[in-house]
C-alpha cells in the first residue's frame, strides 16, 4: 500500500485539474491544462469523479474523526485531505489497524479514480490468473480475485512554462480485491509463479501442464 501522506498530497495536487478539465474545450490550454490535454480527458469521467469524491472524502473524514474520538467540522477538499494522514496515524496509535487500513485503501482508491478520469493512469491488464490467496481467504476475495498488471501512471512535474506529464512504468502485479493488499513487483514475479503453480492455486488451464 502506498504511503498515505504521499497519496493524499498527490491527490490534493491533481484535484484542481478536475474542474479545469471539465471546463476546458478541445483547444489546448497552457501550463497544467496543456499538459493534461495530451492525456485525452473524458469529461463524463471527470464529472463522475468530482461528484463521487466531493461526497466521499468529507464523509470519510467525518467517520475517521468519530473513530478516534475527535470532533468533526466541515472542511473543503484540501482541508479534508490534509487531515487524512494525521487521522491514519492516530488510528495506528489507538491500535485501530483495521480502520487505518480502510482509510489507506479509500485514499488510494480516490487517487486512482481521479488519475483515470484525467487520463493519467493507463488501463491495468488482467494476467489471466486469480490471486493465490483467494482460496485461503474467500471472505476478502468475494468481490474480486483476479490478478492485474498495473498500467503506466502519469505524474505532473514542473516543466517549461508550467507542468508536464511524466509517465512511469511500474511492473507490478496485484490482486483486484479491495480487501487484499497482495502485490508483487518485478523481482517477486518468480515467487508469484511458484505460488500459482501449487495445486491448490493453479488455474484450471494449468492442470494439464
Is 83 within 8 Å of 73 (Cβ atoms)? no
pLDDT given for residue 16 in this prediction: 86
**What pTM, to 2 d.p., does this model score?**
0.70
Q: What is the pLDDT of residues 128-148, one digit of tens each?
A: 999 999 988 999 899 899 999
Half-sphere exposure of 61 (CA within 13 A, CB side): 22
pLDDT more than 70, % of the chain: 82
Residue 101 vs residues 41, 108, 123, 176: alpha-carbon distances, Å: 31, 11, 25, 16
- Averaged pLDDT, 71-90: 94
pLDDT given for residue 100 in this prediction: 94
CB environment 102-129: b (16+ within 10 A), e (fewer): bbbbbbbebbbbbbbbbbbbbebeeeeb
At residue 33, does pLDDT exceed 90?
Answer: no
In the numeric block, which cell numbers belong to residue 195? 505460488
Q: What is the pLDDT of residues 177-192, one digit of tens each?
A: 878 889 999 999 999 9
- Averaged pLDDT, 142-164: 84
Amino acid at each position: 500500500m502506498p504511503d498515505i501522506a504521499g497519496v493524499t498530497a498527490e491527490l490534493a495536487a491533481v484535484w484542481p485539474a478536475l474542474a479545469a478539465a471539465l471546463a476546458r474545450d478541445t483547444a489546448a490550454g497552457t501550463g497544467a491544462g496543456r499538459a493534461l490535454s495530451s492525456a485525452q480527458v473524458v469529461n463524463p469521467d471527470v464529472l463522475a469523479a468530482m461528484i463521487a469524491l466531493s461526497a466521499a472524502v468529507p464523509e470519510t473524514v467525518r467517520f475517521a474523526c468519530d473513530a478516534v474520538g475527535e470532533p468533526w467540522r466541515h472542511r473543503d477538499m484540501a482541508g479534508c485531505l490534509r487531515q487524512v494522514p494525521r487521522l491514519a496515524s492516530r488510528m495506528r496509535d489507538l491500535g485501530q489497524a483495521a480502520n487505518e487500513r480502510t482509510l489507506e485503501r479509500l485514499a488510494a482508491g480516490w487517487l486512482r479514480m481521479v488519475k483515470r478520469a484525467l487520463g493519467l493512469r493507463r488501463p491495468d491488464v488482467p494476467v489471466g490468473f486469480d490471486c493465490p490467496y483467494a482460496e485461503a481467504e474467500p471472505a476478502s476475495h468475494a468481490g474480486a480475485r483476479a490478478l492485474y498488471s498495473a498500467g503506466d501512471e502519469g505524474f505532473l512535474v514542473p516543466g517549461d512554462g508550467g507542468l508536464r506529464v511524466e509517465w512511469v512504468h511500474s511492473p507490478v502485479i496485484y490482486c483486484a480485491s479491495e480487501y487484499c493488499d497482495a502485490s508483487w513487483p518485478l523481482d517477486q514475479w518468480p515467487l508469484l509463479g511458484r505460488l500459482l503453480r501449487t495445486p491448490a492455486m493453479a488455474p484450471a488451464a494449468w492442470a494439464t501442464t
